[in-house]
Each structure stands twice: as C-alpha cells, then as structure tokens.
Amino acid sequence: MLFWQILIDGFAISSLYALGATGFALIFGVSGVLNLSHGALMVTAVVAAWAAGNDLHAGPYAGAALGVAVGFAATLLTYFVIVSPLQRTRKIREEEKEIFILTATLLWGIMIQELIAYLYTNNAKTVAPIVQGVVSIVGVRTPSNEIFTAVVCWLVIGLLWLLVNRTRAGKAVLAASMNPRGVTLLGIELSQIYIAVWAIYGLLVGVAGVLLGMFLGVSSYSVGPLTASAFSIVVLGGLGSVSGALIAAYVVGYLETLTAYLISPAYRTIPALLLLVAVMYVRPRGLLGRR
C-alpha cells in the first residue's frame, strides 16, 4: 500500500520538478545563464493565481490563466531588465559576467520574495485546483488533482519536445545551444532566439508554478528551496542537458518522497542536497553533462 502511495505521490511531485527544471536547463543550455530568481518567478505565478481567486474572485481557470500570464511577464521582465543588460555591458570583464548574472538574479529573486512577503504576507497560499475530487488507483486514494498535475506536466514537456525537434524554429534553438556562432553564420539572429527561449521559459515557469500552487501550495519562503531544487536537479542531470534534467528530476522527486514517508517530512530536502554534494565531489559533470 505504502509502496503504491510513494510511487504515485513521487511521480506527481517529480513531474512538477521536471517541468520547472526543464525550463531552467533550457535557459542554461541556450544562453548560458543560471537564473537564481527561478523560484521567485514560480512563486510570483502562484501568488498571482491565488490573488485572482482571493481578491478578484475569479474562477479556477481564470485564476490559473492569470497566474501563467504573470509568471510569463515576470520572466521576460527578468530577461530584459537584468540578464540582457548584463550580457551586453562593457563595464564588466567577460570572465566576471557569469558571476555578476548569478549575483544579480539572486538579488532580484530575493527582492521579489521580500515584495511578495510585504504585499501578501509570508503565509502559505494554495490555489483552487481546477480538478477536484478523489480517485482510487490500485487501492490508493489519490486526489485527482495529482493526476491532473502529472498529466499536464508531461503534456507540456511533450509539446516542448515537439517544438524543439520538429519545428524549424525549435531546431534553430537547439542549434543555438550547440553553437551560437554557427547559427549567426546561417543568418539567424541570436537575439531573437534568446527572446524566444526566455518566452518559452516564462510559460514553463508559469505553468509549473500554478500547478505547484494547486498541488502543494507555496509561501514566500518557498523561493529559496524552489531555486535550490531546480539547480540541484539541473546540476545532477548535467548542466546543459535537458534529458539529464528530466531523469534527475525523478531521482530527486522520489528521494524526497521516500524521505518524507519513511523518515520524516521535516527531512525531505536533505538527501537530495547530500546527493548533490556527493556528485559535485565525484563527478561534477553530472549524469549527462556536456559543459
């Protein structure tokens, strides 16, 4: 019984992690940016959806849509205001830019966290789920919402895969992640590719955030752990490898679920962090890393 419960719960949370981590990995793979405001952007989406329900009395669908839209907008804002200016500036040496972008996105993320705490307090918030009710799988009573979450995550990941591997624009993005210079030589503007990638990331963040809000709920305190789990997964899977991130998401998701059920929910984040440290020591490249 417990086994099935862990299997199902773990699958749902892993799928959610996979969606968020895919976006994080995509941004790093194509534009080389480790966005440390990732968690903050997800929480922004959730809070927007929550506020839609709470303040505007919108229905679950409208609330979700608003959440995704706000998450999308916040992500693009991050690109245009923080990341892009830093990438282009001449005041900082090239070797130091990575660090400045890390610091700036970290700062930005914390700013958003403080703002949310100020405007909406740091209490936990959940978003009204689109799918209600309980379903019985293999004898385990599972909220239908969990199934919905997993399904939507995989739908979006599937769409992303189709986009990248089957459309012309998608292949250009993939090519840019392999060789930006090559893409320019073929007459494709890199700046447009970056905007496209951040836009996709914005959608992923918005959807993942809203789903998380419906599934577990968030508070402004979730910002740090969400970013941490995203980059843990991406580092475990290998920086730059989206498929690696997918696999690692499930490793981390199940580790957390197992810990929560078998040891204690309070310890749930620890094993994944320890695994990350071990990987850093032993195989910094990660499972399928390229860079």
Which residue number, 7 or 228, has a Cβ lying nearer to another protein? 228
Cβ neighbors of 284 (< 8 A, separation 6 or more) are none
CB of 215 to another protein, least distance (A): 22
User: Please, is 197 exposed, middle or buried when counting C-beta atoms within 10 Å of its C-beta (0-12, 13-18, 19+)?
Assistant: buried
The least CB distance from residue 198 to another protein, in Å, is 18
- Amino acid at residue number 208: A
Residue the block writes with tokens 């899977």? 237
Between 123 and 179, whose beta carbon lies closer to another protein? Answer: 179
For another protein, the closer of residues 64 and 112 by Cβ is 112
Q: Which is nearer to another protein, 114 or 217 (CB)?
A: 114
CA–centroid distance for 87 within its chain: 22
Strand partners, 125: 218
Nearer to another protein, 158 or 182 (CB): 182
Tokens of 291: 């860079």
Q: How far is the CB of 253 from another protein (least distance, A)?
A: 17
103 vs 123, which CB is nearer to another protein? Answer: 103
Give the interface with another protein as residue ranges (CB under 8 A).
34, 82, 85-86, 89, 91-93, 98-100, 102-104, 106-108, 110-111, 114-115, 117-118, 168, 171-172, 174-175, 178-179, 181-190, 224-225, 228, 231-232, 235, 239, 266-267, 269-270, 273-274, 276-277, 280-281, 284
Rg, Å, the chain Cα set: 19
Taking the least distance from each CB to another protein, the nearer of 217 and 224 is 224
Whole-number minimum distance, CB 206 to another protein, in Å?
A: 23
Shortest distance (Å) from residue 98 CB to another protein = 6
Q: How far apart are CA 233 and CA 286, in angstroms?
A: 10
DSSP summary character for residue 36: T
Contact present, 173 and 197 (Cβ < 8 Å): yes
CB of 180 to another protein, least distance (A): 9
Which helix H or strand E contains 143, and what residues bound it?
A: strand 140-143
Q: Which is nearer to another protein, 154 or 267 (CB)?
A: 267
The three-state secondary structure class of 139 is: coil
Number of residues that this document lists for the chain:
291
Q: How is residue 115 written in tokens? A: 């703002």
Q: What's 123's DSSP letter?
A: S
- What is the Cα–Cα distance from 194 to 207, expressed in whole angstroms? 20
CB of 231 to another protein, least distance (A): 6
As measured in angstroms, the least distance from the Cβ of 41 to another protein is 16
